[in-house]
Amino acid sequence: MARTTKQQQARETLGRHVLARRTALGMSQQQLAERAHMVRRTVGSVERGDWQGATLHESTKYNLEAALGWVVGACDAVMRGEEPALSTSPRPTVNVDNDDLVFVYRALNNADPELLRRVRLVIEAARTDSD
């Protein structure tokens, strides 16, 4: 399915912001990739607004935001036409691989509904605290 002009413009806008911030921080694509736990090719794809899939994976956005010193949700904000907000406190990036995702999926799939509700509350509280 082809992307609409609006979707492509949002991707390209994000790419320009990532490139500008990376450059302002004096980082190469490789340095940003290492800091964000991804390959350089992914950084290049983001900067060009030319990645596979409908959207970036949540872990990719999270790690880019952390590596660039942006708040959680900045990538989505940029794609909505907003400016990326800088974080007031540094946060670590996370190196998540497929085994981690399978583990979490299986654990949540078998979890008690009350536990899932509590996990959701903790995540929402953490997001609120980080904003």
In angstroms, the Cα distances linking 91 to 2, 28, 85, 122 are 36, 20, 14, 17
In single-letter form, the type of residue at position 90 comes to P
**Into how many domains does the chain fold?**
2
Range of the structural domain that residue 85 is part of = 5-93
- Together in a domain, 20 and 83: yes
88 shares its domain with 123: no
Residue in 54, 46, 74, 52 with CA at minimum distance from that of residue 130: 74
* pLDDT for position 22: 97
pTM of the model: 0.70
> What pLDDT is stored for residue 131 in this prediction?
47
Residues 16 and 65 in one domain: yes
Average pLDDT along the chain, 131 residues, taken 10 residues at a time = 79 97 97 94 96 84 94 94 91 69 72 77 64 47
